[in-house]
């Protein structure tokens, strides 16, 4: 059995996934692994510039999807694939599952169109493991309230977030071997224990 090397963290805004990145890196490093921590959209100089556009400029949902995959192609070519090739673990805060959740689930872009872009941009590359941080929508919105200046996604209403959550949970149901769903509506310590248990099985 090949040990996973490409791990992604998913969840709607306010689910708390970013809080646990440092701990996950520490756990993997304690096992002697080099860890490359990155994010989407972003992860490269070009990707970070596209991130600013994607998070703050209003645009057609399909334009948004195309820009997401443009940033992703650069991310894969210059960060993810080189790191995996030298044996490093890659930990990415979001990847393509986010596009299915946000652009398809919440904004209605055709799944078939996203699948075509996924195949073109990624080829056979898929995460080895995905940790989905799940919370009720009201918890997500409460955590976002007043935390910082919200981006355009964080300003959306409860219906938008409900669509994202349903799409994420459907992705997890469709890909049970890859996804681990974490109940993130618990204490920090309890969520940390869940993460440690999941990583111990990889």
Residue 6 pLDDT greater than 90, yes or no: yes
- Coil, strand or helix: which one is 93? strand
**Right CATH number for 6-200 from 2.40.110.10, 3.30.70.640, 3.40.50.2300, 3.40.50.300?**
3.40.50.300
Q: How large is the average pLDDT for residues 128-143?
A: 90
At 103 the pLDDT is 97
Residue 159 pLDDT greater than 70, yes or no: yes
Q: Taking the alpha carbons of 139, 140, 145, 146 in that order, is the dihedral positive or negative?
A: positive
- Cα atoms in the Cβ-side hemisphere of radius 13 Å centred on 22: 1
Q: Please state the pTM of the whole predicted model.
A: 0.92
Task: Give the model's confidence band at 40: pLDDT under 50 very low, under 70 low, under 90 confident, else very high.
Answer: very high
At 9 the pLDDT is 97
At 147 the pLDDT is 63
Q: Which residue has the tokens 């959740």?
A: 101
At 148 the pLDDT is 66
Q: How far apart are CA 198 and CA 175, in angstroms?
A: 16
Strand order in the sheet with 179-183: 35-39, 89-93, 6-10, 129-134, 179-183
What is the domain partition of the chain in residue ranges? 6-200
């Amino acid at each position: 059995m090949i040990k996973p090397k490409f791990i992604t963290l998913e969840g709607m805004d306010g689910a708390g996934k970013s809080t646990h990145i440092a701990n996950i890196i520490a756990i993997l490093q304690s096992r002697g692994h080099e860890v490359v921590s990155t994010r989407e959209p972003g992860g490269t100089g070009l990707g970070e510039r596209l991130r600013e556009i994607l998070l703050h400029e209003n645009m057609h949902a399909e334009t948004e999807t195309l820009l997401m995959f443009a940033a992703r192609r650069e991310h894969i070519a210059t960060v993810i694939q080189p790191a995996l090739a030298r044996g490093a673990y890659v930990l990415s805060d979001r990847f393509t599952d986010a596009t299915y959740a946000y652009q398809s689930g919440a904004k209605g872009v055709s799944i078939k169109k996203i699948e075509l872009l996924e195949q073109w941009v990624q080829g056979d590359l898929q995460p080895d493991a995905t940790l989905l941080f799940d919370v009720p929508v009201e918890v997500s919105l409460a955590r976002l309230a007043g935390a910082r200046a919200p981006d355009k996604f964080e300003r959306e209403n409860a219906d938008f977030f409900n669509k994202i959550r349903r799409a994420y949970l459907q992705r997890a149901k469709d890909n049970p071997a890859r996804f681990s769903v974490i109940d993130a509506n618990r204490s920090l310590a309890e969520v940390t224990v869940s993460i440690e248990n999941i990583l111990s099985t990889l």
